[in-house]
Amino acid sequence: MTEKKPNRVGVFICHCGTNIAGVIPIEELKAYAKTLPNVVHADNYTYMCSTPGQEKIRTAIKEQNLDAVVVAACSPRLHEPTFRKASAAGGLNMFIFEMANIREQSSWIHMKEPEKATQKAKDIIRMSVARASLLEPLDTKYIPVEKSIMVIGAGVAGIQASLEIADSGITTYLIEKEPSIGGNMSRLDKTFPTLDCSQCILTPKMVDVDRHPNIKTMTYCEVEKVDGYIGNFTVTVRKKARGVKEADCNGCGDCAAVCPVTKGNEFDLGLGPRKAIYVPFPQAVPLKYTVDFNSCIKCELCVKKCGDKNAIDLNMKDELVEIKVGTIVVAAGFDLYEIEKKEEWGYGRFDNVITGMQFERFINASGPTGGKLIRPSDGQKPHNVAFVLCAGSRDQDANPYCSRVCCMYSLKHAHQIMEKMPGVVPWLFYMDIRAFGKAYEEFYYRIQDEGAKFVRGRVSYIEEDPATKNLIVHAEDTLLGTPVTLEADVVVLASAIVPKATTELLRNKLTISRSPDKFLLEAHPKLNPFSTSTDGIFLAGCCQGPKDIPDTVAQAAGAAAAAQVPINQGKVALEPIAAKVSEELCAGCGICEAQCPYKAISMVSLADGKRRANVNDAMCKGCGTCGATCPGGAIKMQHFTTPQIVAQIDAFLLGGGQ
Ligand SMILES: Cc1cc2nc3c(=O)[nH]c(=O)nc-3n(C[C@H](O)[C@H](O)[C@H](O)COP(=O)(O)OP(=O)(O)OC[C@H]3O[C@@H](n4cnc5c(N)ncnc54)[C@H](O)[C@@H]3O)c2cc1C
Ligand code: SF4
Ligand code: SF4
């Protein structure tokens, strides 16, 4: 590292088309920049990020002998890497570069006050130049990468991601907390808009996963703990006691036939029975039985029936397994909103009010009624079926967002009724029909032509006739502006898609962020929808937000590709913008260790017996928490040192008004 501070600063001002230049006079800004201390060169260009714009930076560094660069343009989130590379191409250390955000922080937000916007842009540039004059060169370090990937959650997103990764030759650990892979898609009957059978398209993929030489599928397992960082994660996985030795179980089902305990099958949302030893559904992968120890009475009838196969072990205990991986794909899926919270619709109180997912199980040939929709109250065939769309979605009292699939799956349900049960009329109560995908609008027209009835309006409440158990649906037809009342045999609530409650626990273990709607947060909604705020952890499917199957599969393939990059490169570069502990000043109090949100600090004992804080560069995000909390000022935030920040503040307070 050099002791010399940069004193030949170049300032490059971007017009960003008219985004900046339409509000702020660029020539005035350039003239102002030239008056600032240490600035020896100032230039401007229509799009600084374009090839000619970057070329201007490269050339000026060489010709003007610049030793620091400031680009006044957009947010560093967008183009800091671009300009760092341009500076490096000119021969500078890429960290002696500062970005002045005069677009988001000035021309956009103050576009109606151009004079104030111009003054603020000058302030921002002046502060950036002051900081750039104190920047120090930093070195990028590289760390080796574990050549395997973990995928958490084995719905269609996790399955797709695993197959993509494994096909490229990388060892893949697929972790699923349920006894079988498949997730929610394995519950569905047909899929909109093509109406192909869900199991027919999913089961071959499930079998491919099971047989793939590079995929190690671990069902009935959950992530207990995650240590480490990109390239070197150590994941502790809890293998829950299955009560059945997978290697010895041949899936014959003799055990379940003799088990005396019956309870509701969660896979069928309680509509059908299962035994205390069970497989959730016939096409389960792996086809291995599982003992539900919460309901097992340890009568051992199953053990006797299993006989020489000796597959059942009622004393089995949970096991913890440590797995090392380079990157992680989270595909933890979704749950359905607890629609009983909307008491006005009577779910849980009225037998004949069901959810869309329960409809899927009724209408599915492998479901509890062999594919027939019945009235749960008396098992009879319904005549009028009402569908309530946006049930718990687009609702400020429940979930303000759109669940994206409910309109389409309710249209599908209407079609299935008209196809399978001639004479039964589906009534759809909707706010707007959102048919955004390929061939979705056409599907909507088709269902209208087939005879489904549409009422535009939210259902205000539902009553039950205690004698017939029929349901009286009250709504307002907002197209006609009149109240509507309909007597239905069955009401299907298209309940909102919500994140799984357990995903919050997983999120904390992975130290990744969530958005206000509680779904997992992507690094950038448009440019980086697969990554998270934690390097090396990627997102796929509905854990990131509601999605249909095509979008889920597309995102899973993208996440799989992104997760492979560090593995294929064999090493990862570490941002050197990290905390640095001074051995002399550190008193070993441990305050920083407790405060670091990324668990990047650990206390180590030195040869002389003293304790000292040690920062793991790979885990440190440079957030500055430790630097702010250290009582002895022993932690220096590289690239955000106290002198650099003070210079910036001074430049604002002392140098304004020009
Ligand atoms: C009623 C209904 C009908 C639908 N019909 C259609 C349709 O016709 N067409 C269409 O395109 N889309 C449809 N969808 C949407 C479709 O179901 C989803 O797009 C798809 O299932 C999303 O898959 P996923 O893998 O993201 O999530 P999931 O299917 O929820 O899979 C997530 C998996 O992760 C596991 N998991 C969760 N947390 C953990 C953890 N901590 N550790 C390990 N494993 C974990 C879960 O057990 C589960 O197996 C429908 C949705 C609903 C509700
Ligand atoms: S031991 Fe448990 S699982 Fe086996 S048959 Fe008895 S109740 Fe069922
Ligand atoms: S800068 Fe933030 S992430 Fe790095 S060690 Fe300090 S507190 Fe932890």
The per-residue pLDDT for range 449-508, each reduced to its tens digit, is 999 999 999 999 999 999 999 999 999 999 999 999 999 999 999 999 999 999 999 999
Residue 4: predicted pLDDT: 72
Full residue range of the structural domain in which residue 167 is found: 148-240+318-333+502-571
In a domain, 514, yes or no: yes
Whether 180 and 325 map to the same domain: the answer is: yes
Whether 362 and 460 map to the same domain: the answer is: yes
Q: Report which protein residue has its CA nearest ligand 1's atom 30.
A: 333
Q: Is pLDDT above 90 for 527?
A: no
Are the CB atoms for 175 and 237 separated by under 8 Å?
A: yes
Average pLDDT, the chain: 96
Mean of pLDDT values over 586-614: 92
| Closest ligand 2 atom to 243 CA | 3
Rounded-to-integer distance, Cα 301 and Cα 259, Å: 6
Whether 185 and 327 map to the same domain: the answer is: yes
Bridge partner residues of 615 (DSSP): 601
Q: Report which protein residue has its CA nearest ligand 2's atom 4.
A: 302
Confidence of residue 1 (pLDDT cuts 50, 70, 90): very low
Are the CB atoms for 206 and 512 separated by under 8 Å?
A: no
Distance 184 CA to ligand 2 centre (A): 27
Rounded-to-integer distance, Cα 579 and Cα 622, Å: 6
Confidence of residue 656 (pLDDT cuts 50, 70, 90): low
Residue 3: predicted pLDDT: 56
Residue 471: predicted pLDDT: 98
Between residues 607 and 75, the one the model is more confident about: 75
Whether 197 and 220 map to the same domain: the answer is: yes
Alpha-carbon torsion, ordered 320, 326, 330, 331, to 10 deg: -90
Rounded-to-integer distance, Cα 348 and Cα 333, Å: 24
Distance 253 CA to ligand 2 centre (A): 12
Question: Which stretches within 315-467 are classed as H helix?
Answer: 356-363, 406-420, 440-450
Whether 366 and 472 map to the same domain: the answer is: yes
Are the CB atoms for 129 and 651 separated by under 8 Å?
A: yes
Closest ligand by atom to 222 CA = 1
Rounded-to-integer distance, Cα 88 and Cα 68, Å: 11
The 10s digit of each residue's pLDDT in 17-48 is: 999 999 999 999 999 999 999 999 999 999 99
Rounded-to-integer distance, Cα 635 and Cα 629, Å: 9
- The verdict on the CB of residue 655 being under 6 Å from ligand 3 is no
Mean of pLDDT values over 515-524: 95
Whether 178 and 298 map to the same domain: the answer is: no
- For the chain, how far is it from start to end, CA to CA, in angstroms? 35
In a domain, 645, yes or no: no
Distance 185 CA to ligand 2 centre (A): 29
The 10s digit of each residue's pLDDT in 535-589 is: 899 999 999 999 999 999 999 999 999 999 999 999 998 889 999 999 999 999 9
- Tokens for 497, please give them: 């898609």
Which residues are CB-contacts of 586 (< 8 A; sequence separation ≥ 6)?
A: 612, 613, 630, 632, 634, 635
Mean of pLDDT values over 222-244: 96
Which residues are CB-contacts of 626 (< 8 A; sequence separation ≥ 6)?
A: 579, 592, 595, 596, 601, 613, 615, 635
Burial class of 421 by CB neighbour count within 10 A (0 to 12, 13 to 18, 19+): middle
Confidence of residue 655 (pLDDT cuts 50, 70, 90): confident
Of 571, 595, 625, the one marking the end of a domain is: 571
The 10s digit of each residue's pLDDT in 615-646 is: 998 888 899 999 999 999 999 999 999 999 99
Total number of domains constituting the chain: 5
Quickly tell me which residue has 């005549």 as its tokens.
383
Residue 327: predicted pLDDT: 98
- Amino acid identity of 558? G
Confidence of residue 599 (pLDDT cuts 50, 70, 90): confident
Closest ligand by atom to 277 CA = 2
Report pTM. 0.86
- CATH code of the domain covering residue 76: 3.40.50
Residue 477: predicted pLDDT: 95
Q: Tell me the best of 292, 298, 306, 310 to mutate to test the pocket of ligand 2, counting ligand atoms within 8 Å of each CB and taking the most.
A: 298
Backbone angles phi, psi at 17, to 5 degrees: 60, -120
Closest ligand by atom to 500 CA = 1
Q: Report which protein residue has its CA nearest ligand 2's atom 6.
A: 299
Q: Report which protein residue has its CA nearest ligand 2's atom 2.
A: 296
Rounded-to-integer distance, Cα 198 and Cα 191, Å: 6
CA separation, residue 466 to residues 295, 340, 352, 377, 656 (Å): 34, 19, 12, 11, 76
Q: Is pLDDT above 60 for 603?
A: yes
Whether 14 and 127 map to the same domain: the answer is: yes
Residue 574: predicted pLDDT: 85
- CATH code of the domain covering residue 597: 3.30.70.3270
- The verdict on the CB of residue 176 being under 6 Å from ligand 1 is yes
Quickly tell me which residue has 């065939």 as its tokens.
381
In a domain, 50, yes or no: yes
Quickly tell me which residue has 């909390």 as its tokens.
629
Per DSSP bridges, beta strands 277-278 and 273-275 are unpaired
Q: Tell me the best of 150, 151, 178, 185 to mutate to test the pocket of ligand 1, counting ligand atoms within 8 Å of each CB and taking the most.
A: 185
In a domain, 463, yes or no: yes
- The verdict on the CB of residue 153 being under 6 Å from ligand 1 is yes
In a domain, 93, yes or no: yes
- The verdict on the CB of residue 36 being under 6 Å from ligand 3 is no
| Closest ligand 1 atom to 184 CA | 29
Residue 130: predicted pLDDT: 97
Of 475, 498, 521, the one marking the end of a domain is: 498
Are the CB atoms for 59 and 114 separated by under 8 Å?
A: no
Confidence of residue 657 (pLDDT cuts 50, 70, 90): very low
Rounded-to-integer distance, Cα 578 and Cα 594, Å: 17
Pocket of ligand 2 (CB under 6 A): 258-259, 261, 275-277, 291, 296-302, 314
- The verdict on the CB of residue 185 being under 6 Å from ligand 1 is yes
Closest ligand by atom to 617 CA = 3
Whether 385 and 435 map to the same domain: the answer is: yes
Rounded-to-integer distance, Cα 155 and Cα 205, Å: 11
- The verdict on the CB of residue 188 being under 6 Å from ligand 1 is yes
Residues belonging to the chain: 658
Per DSSP bridges, beta strands 384-391 and 490-495 are parallel
Burial class of 594 by CB neighbour count within 10 A (0 to 12, 13 to 18, 19+): exposed
Whether 548 and 604 map to the same domain: the answer is: no
- The verdict on the CB of residue 88 being under 6 Å from ligand 3 is no
- The verdict on the CB of residue 333 being under 6 Å from ligand 1 is yes
Question: Which stretches within 384-530 are classed as H helix?
Answer: 406-420, 440-450, 501-510
The 10s digit of each residue's pLDDT in 58-75 is: 999 999 999 999 999 999
Rounded-to-integer distance, Cα 315 and Cα 307, Å: 16
Q: What is the 3-state secondary structure (H, E, C) of 62-80?
A: HHCCCCEEEEEECCHHHHH
Q: Report which protein residue has its CA nearest ligand 3's atom 4.
A: 620
The 10s digit of each residue's pLDDT in 93-146 is: 999 999 999 999 999 999 999 999 999 999 999 999 999 999 999 999 899 999
Confidence of residue 658 (pLDDT cuts 50, 70, 90): very low
| Closest ligand 1 atom to 181 CA | 49
Whether 327 and 343 map to the same domain: the answer is: no
Whether 383 and 461 map to the same domain: the answer is: yes
| Closest ligand 1 atom to 223 CA | 42
Buried/exposed 110-144: b ≥16 CB within 10 Å, e otherwise: beeeeeebbbbbbbbbbbbbbbbbbbbebeeeeee
Q: Report which protein residue has its CA nearest ligand 2's atom 7.
A: 296
Buried/exposed 579-589: b ≥16 CB within 10 Å, e otherwise: bebeeeebeeb
Q: Tell me the best of 209, 271, 362, 405 to mutate to test the pocket of ligand 1, counting ligand atoms within 8 Å of each CB and taking the most.
A: 405
In a domain, 607, yes or no: yes
Count the Cβ atoms, other than its own, within 10 Å of residue 568.
12
Residue 2: predicted pLDDT: 46
| Closest ligand 3 atom to 621 CA | 3
Closest ligand by atom to 406 CA = 1
From the centroid of its chain, how far is CA 237? 20
Q: Tell me the best of 288, 302, 309, 313 to mutate to test the pocket of ligand 2, counting ligand atoms within 8 Å of each CB and taking the most.
A: 302
Q: Is pLDDT above 90 for 608?
A: no
In a domain, 219, yes or no: yes
Q: Is pLDDT above 60 for 310?
A: yes
- CATH code of the domain covering residue 382: 3.50.50.60
In a domain, 245, yes or no: no
Closest ligand by atom to 303 CA = 2
Closest ligand by atom to 505 CA = 1
Closest ligand by atom to 359 CA = 1
Which residues are CB-contacts of 523 (< 8 A; sequence separation ≥ 6)?
A: 529, 530, 531, 532, 533
Mean of pLDDT values over 421-430: 96
Rounded-to-integer distance, Cα 6 and Cα 131, Å: 10
- The verdict on the CB of residue 624 being under 6 Å from ligand 3 is yes
Whether 97 and 13 map to the same domain: the answer is: yes
Q: Tell me the best of 577, 580, 601, 612 to mutate to test the pocket of ligand 3, counting ligand atoms within 8 Å of each CB and taking the most.
A: 601
